[in-house]
Amino acid sequence: MPDFTVNTTTVGGLLVLIVSITLHESAHAYAAHWLGDPTPGERGRVTLNPLKHLDPILSVLAPALLLFTQSSFLIGAGRPVPVRIQNMRSPARDFALVALAGPASNILLGLLFTAGYVLLQRGATPLVEDGTVTSVLLGWGIKINLFLALFNLIPLPPLDGSRLVAYLLPGPLRRAWYRLDGIGIFILIALLLSGALRWIMQPALHAWRWWSDLFIAWTFG
C-alpha cells in the first residue's frame, strides 16, 4: 500500500482547514443576515464560496507552515465578516449569537467527521485503515474543527468568545471591552510567539484525546 503520510497530511489537512474556515465565516455571515444586519450580504459574504472568506496568509500560508514544521496543532483564520450591530434588533445579544455561530459550525462539522469515521469503521471497510486517504482526512476533520471551535471561544478580543463576555457585561464595561479589539490581535501574537498559546490550548489537546478515545471506544467497544 502506498505511503500517503506526508502528502495527505499536508494537502488533505489544508483542504479540510479551508472547508472548516469557510463554514465558520459563512456561519457568522448567515447569522448576522438572519438577525437583521444586511452588511454581510452587501459585502458578498452570505455565501459558501471559499474565495469570499479566505485570507491568503491566515488561511493558507500560515497553516501550511504549521504543517511543514510538524506542529502539534493546526489553526488558521479567514477574513473577518463585517457586521454593524446597530442594525440588529438586540445588538449585544445578537452580536454574541453571530459570534457563537462560528464555533458552533465547527462543532457540528467535527461531529459529522466523527460520525463518518465511526460509520466507516463499523462497516468494516478498508477505507479507514490507518494511513489511507480517508482515515487521514477524517482525522484532520475532527481535530481541526475541535481546535477551531475551542480557540475561537477563548474570551479575548477579537475572538468569538469575547462577544459572549461582552453580552454579560453592563453597558459601560461592554463599550470598554469592545475597544480592546484594537490591541487584542497583538496580545494573540505575543501569546503565540511566547509559547503561551500552546498552554492555553491544552484544554483543546485534552478534549481531542478524550474525543478520540470516545469514538474509538464506541467503534470497537
Positions annotated as catalytic residues are 25
Instruction: Give the angle subtended at the CA of 50 by the CAs of 48 and 87, to the nearest 5°.
Output: 55
Longest dimension (CA), the chain: 63
10: DSSP letter: I
Residues 38 and 97 sit within 8 Å (Cβ to Cβ): no
Grid coordinates given for 48? 459558501
Strand, coil or helix: 54: strand
Cis check for the bond before 158: say yes or no (omega within 30 of 0).
Answer: yes
- Rounded Cα distance between 199 and 148, Å, is 16
Phi, psi values for residue 115, rounded to 5°:
-60, -40
69: DSSP letter: T
Residues 146 and 204 sit within 8 Å (Cβ to Cβ): yes
- Rounded Cα distance between 104 and 148, Å, is 10
126: DSSP letter: G
Q: How many CB atoms lie within 10 A of CB 198?
A: 14
